[in-house]
Amino acid sequence: MLEFPKIALTLGDPAGIGPEVVLKALADASTHLMAQITVVGSRSQLVSSYEALRHCTHEPLAEPDQLAILDISLDRQTESQITPGIGNAASGAASFAYLEAAIAQTLAGKFQAIVTGPIAKSAWKAAGHLYPGQTELLAERSGVSRFGMLFVAQSPHSQWVLRTLLATTHIPLRAVPETLSPALLATKLKLLVACLDQDFGLATPRIAIAGLNPHSGEQGQLGREEQDWLIPWLEESRRIYPALHLDGPVPPDTLWVKPGQAWLGGEPLTLAHDAYLALYHDQGLIPVKLLAFDRAVNTTIGLPFVRTSPDHGTAFDIVEQGVARPVSTQEALKLAVQLVRQRGTPLD
Ligand SMILES: NC(=O)C1=CN([C@@H]2O[C@H](COP(=O)(O)OP(=O)(O)OC[C@H]3O[C@@H](n4cnc5c(N)ncnc54)[C@H](O)[C@@H]3O)[C@@H](O)[C@H]2O)C=CC1
Ligand SMILES: NCC(=O)COP(=O)(O)O
C-alpha cells in the first residue's frame, strides 16, 4: 500500500494556470508510476482548459478522460462566471470547494497527501472566504493550531536541498516586528526540528536563523530586536537543544550566500545549513524563488497528513497560452510521495 501513495491533486483556481500544470504534470507517465493520483476539481473546467491548450502547445497534455477525477462542480451560474485569466468570486468559490473536498476526503482516510494547485487569496476573499491562504484552511480543518510554511527545493546542479521555514507569512510587512516573539520562534523552531527528524532523517541538523534588521541590528545601532530578545532566545534555544547547531541571528543579506553557493555547486555543501528560519515572507522567499522558482515546493508542517504545493501562484497573465511550466507541480508530487513513504502514513 505504501509503495503506491494515494494523492489528492487539487486544480487550484480554475481561472489560473492550475489546470494547465496539472494536465502537463500528469502527462508524464513517471508520475503515475509513483502514486495513485486523483484530481480534485471540476471535470468541465479541466476539459475546457484541455481543449484550449491542445491548440496552442506542443507539450504533452494528459487527456482528462484518462484521469481519475473527483468531480467538484458548482452550480451552472457560478461555473459560467469562471473566466480564464481573471480571478473572481466564482473562481475563488471553486478553488475553495476543491480544497475543502480534498481535506475532507483526506481526513476520512481516502488520501495520504494533498498536493494543492495555486489559488488567488483575493478570489477567496471575493467569494467570502477570509483566509490568508490555503495553509490556514488546511490547519483549521485539521484542528491544528501550530503549523508552519516550509519551502523545499533540490538543486539540479549539486543535489543539495534548500529548506526554508517562514516564521511569519501572509501579514503586512509593518506587522512583522510586533508579530515576532520568542514564543512564536520557539513554536516554529520546534516544528522545524520535528519535521527535519521525521521527514528528512536529520536528527541533529544545522539550522541558521535570520536576523531582522540590516546587519542584524549592528549591536543595536540599526534596530534593537536582536539585542532585546533574538540573541537571548537563541541562547536559551541552544540550552533546550544541546545536540543541534543553531547559528544566528545571521545578518539577513549574507544569510543567503552559502545556500546560493551550495545550490550552484560552487562551495563544499557542508558549509551550508540543513535549514533556514526566515523571519518574514519575502526575506525567505526572494532567495528561494531567485534560486529555485521552477523547483521549490511549499509544504505545510504540523498537519496530520502530508500537504505540498508548487511555489508559484495563479499566473493569470499567461493562462491558456501553453507556456506554464509544470516542474514545480511535479516536484510537489515527488515530495508528497517521499514524505508519505518516510512517515509510513496508513490509509483508513
Ligand atoms: N500556492 C499558491 O496557492 C500560491 C498562490 N499565489 C497567488 O497567486 C496570485 C498571483 O501571484 P504572483 O505574485 O503574480 O505570482 P505568480 O507565481 O502567479 O506569477 C509570477 C510570475 O511568474 C510567472 N509564472 C508563475 N508560475 C509559472 C509557471 N509555472 N510557468 C511559467 N511562468 C510562471 C507568471 O507568469 C508571472 O510572470 C496571487 O493571488 C497570489 O496570492 C502566489 C504564490 C503561491
Ligand atoms: N507565498 C506562499 C503562498 O502564497 C502559498 O500560500 P498557501 O495558499 O499555500 O497558504
CATH numbers and ranges of domains, the chain: 1-144+303-348 (3.40.718.10), 146-301 (3.40.718.10)
pLDDT at 44: 95
pLDDT at 271: 85
Angle between helices 89-107 and 134-142 (to 10 degrees): 40
Q: Is the pTM of this model over 0.80?
A: yes
**Known binder of ligand: residue 281?**
yes
* Three cell numbers written together for 69: 477525477
**Known binder of ligand: residue 121?**
no
State in Å: Cα 232 to ligand 2 middle. Answer: 31
Cα separation, 138 vs 147, whole angstroms: 10
State in Å: Cα 287 to ligand 2 middle. Answer: 16
Residues framing ligand 1 (Cβ under 6 A): 17, 21, 118-122, 134, 298, 309, 312-315, 317-318, 324-325
Q: What is the pLDDT of residues 158-188, one digit of tens each?
A: 999 999 999 999 999 999 999 999 999 999 9
State in Å: Cα 136 to ligand 1 middle. Answer: 19
Cα separation, 108 vs 304, whole angstroms: 12
State in Å: Cα 46 to ligand 1 middle. Answer: 19
For the chain, the farthest-separated pair of C-alpha atoms sits apart, in whole angstroms, at 63
ipTM over 0.95: yes
Residues framing ligand 2 (Cβ under 6 A): 119, 133-135, 285, 298, 309
Task: Give the whole-number percent of the chain exceeding pLDDT 90.
Answer: 93
**Which residues of the chain register pLDDT less than 50?**
1-2
Q: Which atom of ligand 1 is nearest to the CA of 123?
A: 39
